[in-house]
Amino acid sequence: MDSMTTSAVHTPRGPVTRKDVARYAGVSTAVVSYVVNGGPKKVAPATEAKVQDAIRILGYRPNAAARALKLGSSETIGLVIPDNTNPFFSLLAHAVEDAAAARGYALLLTNSDGNLAKERRNIRNLASRQVDGVVLASVLFEPDLEALESGEIPAVLLNHGGKAPGFNSVGVDLAAGARMAVEHLIGHGHTNIALAMGTNVAQDYDLREEGWLQALAAAGLPEGPVVRGTFSRDGGYAAGQRLLASANRPAAIFASSDMQAIGILRAIHEAGLTAPGDIALTSFDGSAEAEYSWPALTTVEQPVRVMAEAAVSALLGARRGEPAEHRIFPTELRIRQSCGCPGAGVQ
């Protein structure tokens, strides 16, 4: 369409429709649909440019509700995590969002704050919005998914260390990762190794504790002291203070999360001690903060992007009727200075 013809077309009153865009650009409504949806048919670059100009000039906004009704899909995935202020879960959420976007899906993020009642409320809210599926990092090993099941909305359990019958689940071998971190401390000659174990309101036992126990037993070492608290900097700080005040002060500590380890580092520094000189430290997760703490943390790194890709793939596979399965991924020990090693590396 030339400039004279375009200028003669008046901007429509009221909500702009796909027909208005087609009329303005001098194309069919099907061509507008192909441009807006990125297919299924290709559009010539010059034609696409005319349609995009018409969309911009008229201020056209596609009707997501109408599109969802037509497709039978909201093209939206829900995500429930314990706490997006925790850098590990922030990184995980970002990776899930990227994996969803690559497949044409938007993401609705909610936080449970590690609270079972809030987790259930978030699940019900997502179900009421008719999302296409929910990725859930639950506070329970077997969460309550009745709201999703009744709406025939598939779910994938993310950051899940064990097989959950009937559900798709994605995670890492928590016990193996923890065992690797504790074995590394044993390799430095430590015999009194404490555990700073994170807990939440709904689940007290964690396979990371099992890995700690396995490593000590295999080396013929006694169990060191155990302090339990929240998966947070505050929880780690309190755990560090208690361990340092103990008559049986440990020579090394395995923390079940990077955030706890950062809190423990503060407690060590405030006590006038050094890490790893006085107390060696390893942790679990592999968040960016682990690399920039002082000293930098030796940590068990989870493959966040691989896990996110697997979770979104499993969710969309469930929509196609594919059978549920448990996907487990290996971890790596990211070696830095907090354990007593001189530099960075991977074990």
Interval 84-112 mean pLDDT: 91
Provide the pLDDT for residue 109: 92
Q: Which of 110, 113, 98 is nearest to 134 (CA)?
A: 110
Q: How far, in Å, CA of 96 to CA of 133, rounded?
A: 13
Provide the pLDDT for residue 16: 78
Burial class (CB in 10 A: 0-12, 13-18, 19+), 21: buried
Is the predicted pLDDT of residue 80 greater than 50, yes or no? yes
Is the predicted pLDDT of residue 235 greater than 90, yes or no? yes
Least confident of 163-172, 201-210, 260-269: 201-210
Provide the pLDDT for residue 202: 53
Dump pLDDT digits (tens) for 106-117.
999 999 888 888
Higher-pLDDT residue of 145 and 13 is 145
Provide the pLDDT for residue 346: 62
Provide the pLDDT for residue 250: 96
Provide the pLDDT for residue 180: 97
Asked if 265 and 281 touch (Cβ cutoff 8 Å), the reply is yes
Strands 193-199 and 298-301: unpaired
Interval 169-173 mean pLDDT: 92
Provide the pLDDT for residue 67: 53
pTM (global) more than 0.85:
no
- In this prediction, residue 3 has a pLDDT band, given cuts at 50, 70 and 90, of very low
Tell me what the pLDDT averaged over the chain comes to.
86
Provide the pLDDT for residue 12: 56
Dump pLDDT digits (tens) for 20-71.
888 888 888 888 878 876 666 788 888 988 888 888 888 877 665 555 445 4
Is the predicted pLDDT of residue 151 greater than 50, yes or no? yes
Phi, then psi, of 122 in degrees rounded to 5: -65, -40
Higher-pLDDT residue of 194 and 70 is 194
Q: How far, in Å, CA of 93 to CA of 101, rounded?
A: 12
Is the predicted pLDDT of residue 166 greater than 80, yes or no? no
Least confident of 212-216, 245-249, 302-306, 340-344: 340-344
Six-digit token pair at 266? 């503060």
Token look-up 């099992």 returns 210
Torsion of CA 235, 238, 244, 247, to 10 degrees: -110
